[in-house]
Amino acid sequence: MPELPEVETVRRGLAPVMEGAVIARAELRRPDLRFPFPAGFAEALAGRRVISLGRRAKYLLIDLDGGDVVIAHLGMSGSFRVAGPRDETVPGEFHVPRGKDERHDHVVLHLETPGGPQRVIYNDPRRFGFMDLARREGLSEHPYLRELGIEPTGNALDAAYLAARLRGRSQPLKAALLDQKTIAGLGNIYVCEALWRAHLSPERAAGTLVTAAGKPRRELLTLTDAIRAVIADAIEAGGSTLRDHIRADGSLGYFQHSFSVYDREGEACRTPGCGGTVNRIVQSGRSTFRCVACQK
């Protein structure tokens, strides 16, 4: 679910609560998410102080004193929320079935913070998320992180990098950009949006944006700018709130109101003067939204 802007929004929401706090106890309410929690996971977290919260691509990184780092991926439906201390329960009280949401609270971090006890709760109905533990040293060589491409934030991403990555590839642009080894953190929404902004067809062979000499064509410069802009805009808007995804503080991101093509099948293309209609196709099993009239 969450793409880079959503994970970054989660990171920013959790940081004020978690950084400097001590994890008194990590409560695992089931043995696995998508994969089993690693052996000794809860024990490794207990008593550790959170140094900082980081992010790489769509992974949240919880840096602990002692040198361990929690690597967390939210899958399609994962979310974190902050709650106060556990509600008091009355002994002997009739057991009230938990609400639908709480059934999917799989991990509870019980924190001691300067402001008192807090809980950070990971909820994930589909359980496509996963968590692992790694050492800070050599973190970038962890199997989940090792092959990730460049971040689309800041100044790191440029057309020369993309040219080198896309050169000679016959794969559709959509698939190439979705590949985390190309650009780390793009997902279905932001790839569709970036291609629309750049007026490029998701079906274009990726290699056609590169000259025979390996130089980026003008279109690739446009695409590079579009990717950086859409990610920056989405982060600034606090990400997108779709369906049940909420931010750590319970508020809603609002970038979904800025979608130009994603989930807008049948609607008018927003490119000024275009007059086309957004349609939906399926590429490698996933929906692509685009305007045939202006995306070439």
Partner DNA sequence: CCTTGAACCTGGGCGC
Partner DNA sequence: TGCGCCCAGGTTCAAG
Binding residues for DNA restricted to 15-44, rule: CB under 7 A: 34
Q: Which amino acid is at 54?
A: G
Q: How many residues does the chain have?
A: 296
Among the listed residues 55, 56, 169, 197, the single contact to DNA using CB under 7 A = 169
CB of 149: closest distance to DNA in angstroms?
11
Is 76 among the residues that bind DNA (CB under 7 A)? yes
- Cα–Cα distances (Å) from 246 to 10, 91, 144, 187, 228, in that order, read 9, 32, 25, 18, 24
Binding residues for DNA restricted to 140-159, rule: CB under 7 A: 143-144
Among the listed residues 211, 251, 258, 287, the single contact to DNA using CB under 7 A = 287
Among the listed residues 11, 104, 106, 110, the single contact to DNA using CB under 7 A = 104
Buried b (16+ CB within 10 A) or exposed e, 248-259: bbeeebebbeeb
Among the listed residues 48, 55, 58, 106, the single contact to DNA using CB under 7 A = 58
Is 245 among the residues that bind DNA (CB under 7 A)? yes
Tell me, letter by letter, the H, E, C secondary structure of 46-80: CCCEEEEEEEECCEEEEEECCCEEEEEECCCCCEE
Q: Please, what sign has the CA dihedral across residues 134, 139, 141, 144?
A: positive
Q: Which of 55, 58, 174, 264 is catalytic?
A: 58
Is 239 among the residues that bind DNA (CB under 7 A)? yes
Is 57 among the residues that bind DNA (CB under 7 A)? yes
Binding mask 200-229 for DNA (x = CB under 7 A): ------------------------------
Q: Which amino acid is at 65?
A: D
Among the listed residues 98, 103, 135, 136, the single contact to DNA using CB under 7 A = 103
Is 257 among the residues that bind DNA (CB under 7 A)? no
Question: Is 173:199 a contact under the CB 8 Å cutoff?
Answer: no
Which range binds DNA by CB under 7 A, 87-95, 167-175, 208-216, 222-230? Answer: 167-175
**In the numeric block, which tokens belong to residue 44?**
């490794």
Which is nearer to DNA, 45 or 261 (by Cβ)? 261
Which range binds DNA by CB under 7 A, 19-27, 82-90, 108-116, 278-286? Answer: 278-286
Q: Which of 3, 6, 193, 219 is catalytic?
A: 3
| Radius of gyration of the chain measured on its C-alpha atoms | 21
Is 171 among the residues that bind DNA (CB under 7 A)? yes
Strand, helix or coil for residue 178: helix
**Which burial class, exposed, middle or buried, applies to 147 when counting CB atoms under 10 A from its CB (0-12, 13-18, 19+)?**
exposed
Size of the site for DNA (CB under 7 A): 42
Q: What contacts 5, CB < 8 A, 6 or more positions away? A: 190, 231, 234, 235, 237, 239, 240, 253, 255
Distance from C-alpha of 97 to C-alpha of 91, rounded to nearest angstrom: 16
Which is nearer to DNA, 135 or 181 (by Cβ)? 181
* Residues near DNA, by CB under 7 A: 1-3, 6, 34, 57-58, 73, 75-77, 100, 103-104, 125-128, 143-144, 169-172, 175, 178, 180, 187-189, 239-245, 253, 284-287
List active site positions.
2-3, 58, 286
